Structure 1
Amino acid sequence: MERGAYALARVAVVVRAPAGWLWWPGLLAAAIGALVPGLTGRTIGVLAGAALFVIAAFTVFAVRRGRYTALAGGAPRAGKAVILQDRAVTIRVWRRAHRWWLLLAFLAAVAWSFVLPTTGGLLMAGAAVGLWAKALWLGHWEREHNALLWVRTESAARGGAAGKDVRGYLTTGEAAGDAAPGGGRIRTGARASSGGGGGR
């Protein structure tokens, strides 16, 4: 295990961070698209959009699942010196790094509606559902193993939670950090310590 202090982000939080920022703009783009007939007509557009929604959700959910499982397998315990990044900080960092891509995706989805209504927005929304489903799948792994999965922040920033720069995950006890298994908010109202090794 590497020595010295370094920051870790929850794997499930990194995975689900884009979901809300794809879901709501996607629905808005689809709603705007429903107002214009497009080149193909609304009926064809909505049917095609529904198909793309399902395809995107299943594809995003399925992609790299084997790599996530491989990285999680045999993951060592995090040391006492690590800094556990707050859930809100992880989401904010992701948003700042990708805000222009999100804007471009939204504008592209709206523009595409003039050709095939609603499809671009529903594609974005489907991708969001796939990310939420993958985060829930990770949460199931965490509950099953009574451990939370963490990834080094600099590795995740370069290619996501399962990118080529990620060499492996680290684990902590379920009381560490400030997010529930799966990366959601803790509903109990009692936030665990986000640093200093609590629950490790």
Structure 2
Amino acid sequence: MRRSAVGRGAYALARVAVIVRAPAGWLWWSGLLAAGIGVLVPGLTGRGIGVPAGVALGIVAAFVVFAVRRRRYAALADEASRAGKAVILQDRAVTLRLWRRAHRWWLLLAFPAAVGSSFALPAAGGLLMAGAALGLWGKALWLGRWERERDALLWVRTEAAGRGGAAGKAVRGYVTTGTAAGDAAPGGARGRRGAARPAGTGAGRR
């Protein structure tokens, strides 16, 4: 892991794992609701085909979402630099809110699309969404395992992550802090309130 700071001057950082899991909760609960509504719709294929097909699609979606860009995440993590003193650590709630605001239209459209698909394959669209959520949670847990093994948290510059996600083309590298930095636990889950900040990092909160 390189120890030099990335760039100079103040810049904001968001947790990589928090960005990854940002849509998971919404996809999970909306997907289950859409699947529940879909079960009430006979559909063209009937529930006997639609529900098993939806389960299969959900399993495939979970594995695909979990696997996509994993090599890039791993490469960025292994080449991460130590965060400098002039950084602002974005709170977990702020990261979630900004991500969902930026993607609100496709989040809002996904639910009616899943319900509408039930007229062809009952419950399939909702189960597909739920499977995608599981894949995102799985990837966040995988990142959390990396963070625990190395006793470091992964962060990405907010302006880069805003242009294609936490592993998009605009992201040139990650930076790390100690595990006490920020307000989210390894893997991006909600951490303890009032968590301590590592001495000497100069990292602030946004």
> When the two structures are superposed, what TM-score results if normalisation uses the length of structure 1?
0.95
Q: In 2, Cα distance between the equivalents of 1:2 and 1:100?
A: 34
Counterpart of 1:80 in structure 2 is 85
Please state if 1:138 is matched with 2:136.
Answer: no
In structure 2, which of residues 161, 164, 181 is the aligned counterpart of residue 159 of structure 1? 164
Counterpart of 1:95 in structure 2 is 100
Counterpart of 1:192 in structure 2 is 196
Q: In 1, Cα distance between the equivalents of 2:115 and 2:184?
A: 34
Q: In 1, Cα distance between the equivalents of 2:197 and 2:148?
A: 19
Counterpart of 2:176 in structure 1 is 171
Please state if 1:107 is matched with 2:116.
Answer: no
Q: In 2, Cα distance between the equivalents of 1:105 and 1:192?
A: 38
Counterpart of 1:25 in structure 2 is 30
| CA displacement at 1:197 relative to structure 2 | 2.0
Q: In 2, Cα distance between the equivalents of 1:16 and 1:191?
A: 21
* Equivalent position SS for 2:163: helix
Q: In 2, Cα distance between the equivalents of 1:91 and 1:193?
A: 21
Q: Could you give the per-residue CA deviations for residues 76-130 of structure 1, whole angstroms, max 9, x where no partner exists?
A: 1000110000000000001111111111111110000011100100000000000
Paired positions, count? 197
Q: Could you give the per-residue CA deviations for residues 174-194 of structure 1, whole angstroms, max 9, x where no partner exists?
A: 1100000000011x4443359
Q: In 2, Cα distance between the equivalents of 1:29 and 1:74?
A: 41
Counterpart of 2:74 in structure 1 is 69
Unaligned runs of 5+ residues in structure 1 are: none
Residues 178 and 193, structure 1, Cα contact 8 Å, conserved in 2:
no
Residues 75 and 170, structure 1, Cα contact 8 Å, conserved in 2:
yes
| CA displacement at 1:196 relative to structure 2 | 4.0
RMSD: 1.4
Residues 17 and 188, structure 2, Cα contact 8 Å, conserved in 1:
yes
Counterpart of 2:3 in structure 1 is none
| CA displacement at 1:66 relative to structure 2 | 0.4
* Equivalent position SS for 1:159: coil
Unaligned runs of 5+ residues in structure 2 are: 1-5
Q: In 2, Cα distance between the equivalents of 1:153 and 1:185?
A: 19
| CA displacement at 1:39 relative to structure 2 | 0.2
* Equivalent position SS for 1:180: coil
Q: In 1, Cα distance between the equivalents of 2:95 and 2:61?
A: 24
> When the two structures are superposed, what TM-score results if normalisation uses the length of structure 2?
0.92
In structure 1, which of residues 147, 156, 159 is the aligned counterpart of residue 152 of structure 2? 147
